[in-house]
A and B are shown apart, each in its own frame.
Chain A
Amino acid sequence: MSDTLQRLKELLIKRLKLKVTLEQINEDTQLFGPDGLGLDSIDVLELVVGIKKEFGVEIVDRQTAEKIFTSVGAVAEFIEEKK
């Protein structure tokens, strides 16, 4: 789990070009909103593609994405379950 979380954090920063450090992201960090990472819909697509490439886990539709893309921890958990 911690390995997945670490890789997911790196993916977020690298692929979405987020201006935060690894230390600033933890399991409870929200993906959206001003208090979280503030992702937009293009970032969501980029994240979906990134997760497919990095973990081989596919998120096929928007409904699934909306359900799991809450906190960084929730996304890591989903990847763990599916991979």
Chain B
Amino acid sequence: MSSDYPVPARLLPHSYPFVLIDKIIERKEGKSIICLKNVTFNEAFFQGHFRDNPVMPGVLIIEAMAQASGLIISAEQQSSAFLGRVSEARFKRAVVPGDQLVIKASLIEEFGPLYVFEASAHVQEVIVAEAEITLTIS
């Protein structure tokens, strides 16, 4: 499956090893996005989280949601976007090696430098996590 969108690693201000979005599937600037993150056994965090039971840390799923959210707004704003708040976060299922994480986010509120997004992560169309993410553009 190829993508018509640019590689997220080139759009995001993040770089290795902190780019948590592999591909943009669909993007409506200023509105919504659907992204992909392939989770492999080689991820460094699986070494210790946990030793005999590899589970993707929930905070990294949140980070992936925040990066996806950031990709909705313009590239210019992204470079100075920081997490302002995370609320209503729920983790419903463990994300394990081999999972393909589909991250959906949409802008629900915009006020001054604050952008509020509703985000969710899915594996095989089952919701694994959701949160409301606020980014502050400084």
Determine if B113 is an interface residue (Cβ-Cβ < 8 Å). Answer: yes
Give Cα A62–Cα B136 distance, bound, in whole angstroms.
14
Q: How many residues of B contact A (CB 8 A)?
A: 10
Asked if B109 and A41 make an inter-chain contact with CB atoms under 8 angstroms apart, the answer reads no
Determine if A48 is an interface residue (Cβ-Cβ < 8 Å). Answer: yes
Give the Cβ gap from B29 to chain A, nearest Cβ, in Å.
Answer: 21
Determine if A22 is an interface residue (Cβ-Cβ < 8 Å). Answer: no
**A65 contacts across to B, CB distance below 8 A:** 111-112
Interface residues in chain A, defined as those with a beta carbon under 8 Å from any beta carbon in chain B: 41-42, 44-45, 48-49, 61-62, 65
**A42 contacts across to B, CB distance below 8 A:** 84-85, 114, 134
Interface residues in chain B, defined as those with a beta carbon under 8 Å from any beta carbon in chain A: 84-85, 109, 111-114, 116, 134, 136
Give Cα A48–Cα B85 distance, bound, in whole angstroms.
16
Q: Which of A41, A44, A48, A61 has the most CB of B within 10 A?
A: A41
**B85 contacts across to A, CB distance below 8 A:** 42
**A48 contacts across to B, CB distance below 8 A:** 111
**A49 contacts across to B, CB distance below 8 A:** 109
